[in-house]
Structure 1
Amino acid sequence: MFDKLSGYQKELLAHIEFKGRFFGLVSRLDLTSRFEISDASATRTFRLYNELAPDNIIYRPNIKRYEWQETAKPIIPISTAKCLGTLIDGFGDSYAHIEGETIAARNSLINTDLDVLSVVTRAIKRKHALRICYLSKTNPQGSYREIVPHSIADSGLRWHVRAYDRKRQSFIDFVVNRIKSGVPLKSEPVPDSQMIAADDDWNTFVALEIQPHPRLAGIKNVIEFEYRMIGGVLVRKVRQALAGYLLDSWNVDVSDDASLEGDHIMLHLKNTQQLNFKGKVLAPGAYKDFSDSQS
């Protein structure tokens, strides 16, 4: 039946499924505001989706929204790139980035498991905890953890979940593709101390002063032009929780004496001696023992 629908009908149904799957809730207003259709048309579209996938969404009169079921099976294929792009930049062809969203975009080496990602994003949107089975260096077979996720971010290599870990009683990063399963803990209230406002590293921004690597004085002007540096410096303000990942993916030497060599090392952190944050150990030239922050 789905194959016989028009492209426009498929687009409407895809919007319902995407909002439900990744945000947990979807309403007629989501359709009327996005596609400028009438309430009656939106109602007919939801009725059609329920005919195609009767167990995926259930209407909750108390909140006047349809709730995505944890046992739901998506019926509309979506590419990982399209999914992540929509989560980052919103729907449609707008060039405007969504301000205030708890998603920071980079480029991943591998595809993210969308089923796992959707469990996480629903928990973020609905502000509840998750019980996950997680693989780590200390527990390669997997162990159960209770986390309260508040954001996702792409480190340039893989997608991470920023969350409060009830085992460690602190905010840390979890790799999305190391999560084997996740079950929402909707009935348990989440205290303010486990919410995003209490995550100091996430809410603190650091100014990274990036300069051409001192050993490349002969092409200093080339690097300055390429990176559009002003006064020989490119200043990037980033979340402290992400700074180490970004410096690593950008191949920025953070050593005090700018001692790293190699054709891939063209940049140096000019203010490295003034900056000291937990994630700095991830950056090239840190010269410190690193214990897996996702353990």
Structure 2
Amino acid sequence: MGKATAHQRHAFIELLVYWEGRINAKDLERQFNLSRQQCSAYINSYKQLFPDNLVYDNSHKNYKPSPGFKRHYISADADAYLNWLHTGHWPEHAATVSPYTAALEIPVRQVSPDIMRGLVIAVRQQRRIDVEYASLSSPDSIGRILSPHCFVRTGLRWHLRAWCEKSRAYRDFVLSSFRGTPELLDKATFLANGDTAWNTQVTVLLQPDPRLNPEKRAILENDYQMVNGQLAITTRGCLVQYLLRELQVNTKVLDGTPEAQQLICVNLVDIKEWLFEG
């Protein structure tokens, strides 16, 4: 693998400034294994390219986005930032498109950088946060005081896992459903170690729909690399429902045609307590 180019390092600077609201030489040093002098040089070269994008914060010894900040390297899709936050990996080479592959383009769910900056601080510093949230069940924005501990990708969407003082429970919140400007509060007392559904490992057992003939069942067993006709997947208790949803396993009513159902859950009784859809 070749070294990251100036373009990718500038893109990384923009990524952190946009989504975290800050950047300093140490961030580049950790990410690219550069010297402090090299890191400062890349920040300065970015400033020369876009002199109106960054302002220096003397009190925190870092750069922040200016009021007129404009994106030049990254999109408004939070996925790139969240994927980096999850893996720590930043692409070393510019993205290239192969003529032999294609990818389904999924509509981007809008996430405000102002909201993301507050949520990231709250997670990292284990702080409570006051933020507005709207959902299909409650379309009008309602203020929620949350104690978040993790960002979670559940297929096509990112959620925030947090203790909700209104619900008095740990819940999942869709990032694109937050509204307004969050207010950081004091230290949280409800942390990840108190989240039972988060800390409980649950094994889901799946098998081909028994209504399928042996030949069709064998195809699914090969597709999913099943052992003795079953697929065992272990995940967190709070993620069981999302797992079944992504695999299109209906736990309420079997589809009328086994070819559409394909998979069934073998140990439904064992996992039922983790299903929030009944």
Give the alignment's TM-score, normalised by structure 1: 0.73
Answer yes or no: is the 8 Å Cα contact 2:54–2:66 preserved in 1: no
The equivalent residue for 1:89 is 87
Indicate yes or no: 2:261 matched with 1:261.
no
Name whichever of 12-21 and 242-251 sits farther off: 12-21
- In structure 1, runs of 5+ residues without a counterpart are 1-6, 95-106, 283-287, 289-295
Q: 1:41 aligns with which of 29, 33, 38?
A: 38
Aligned residue runs from structure 1 range 277-292, under 5 A: 277-278=273-274, 280-282=275-277, 288=278
| Identity level (%) | 22
Indicate yes or no: 2:198 matched with 1:178.
no
- In structure 2, runs of 5+ residues without a counterpart are 93-103
Q: How far is the alpha carbon of 1:12 from its aligned partner?
A: 2.7
Q: How far is the alpha carbon of 1:84 from its aligned partner?
A: 4.0
**Distance across 1 between alignment mates of 2:173 and 2:11:** 29
Number of equivalences = 256
Answer yes or no: is the 8 Å Cα contact 1:133–1:179 preserved in 2: yes
The equivalent residue for 1:153 is 152
The equivalent residue for 1:58 is 57
The equivalent residue for 1:133 is 132
Give the alignment's TM-score, normalised by structure 2: 0.77
Indicate yes or no: 2:102 matched with 1:112.
no
The equivalent residue for 2:99 is none
Answer yes or no: is the 8 Å Cα contact 1:110–1:158 preserved in 2: no
Q: How far is the alpha carbon of 1:165 from its aligned partner?
A: 0.8
The equivalent residue for 1:100 is none
**Distance across 1 between alignment mates of 2:148 and 2:6:** 34
CA 224–209 in structure 1, closer or farther in 2 if over 3 Å, else same: same
Q: 1:204 aligns with which of 200, 204, 229?
A: 200
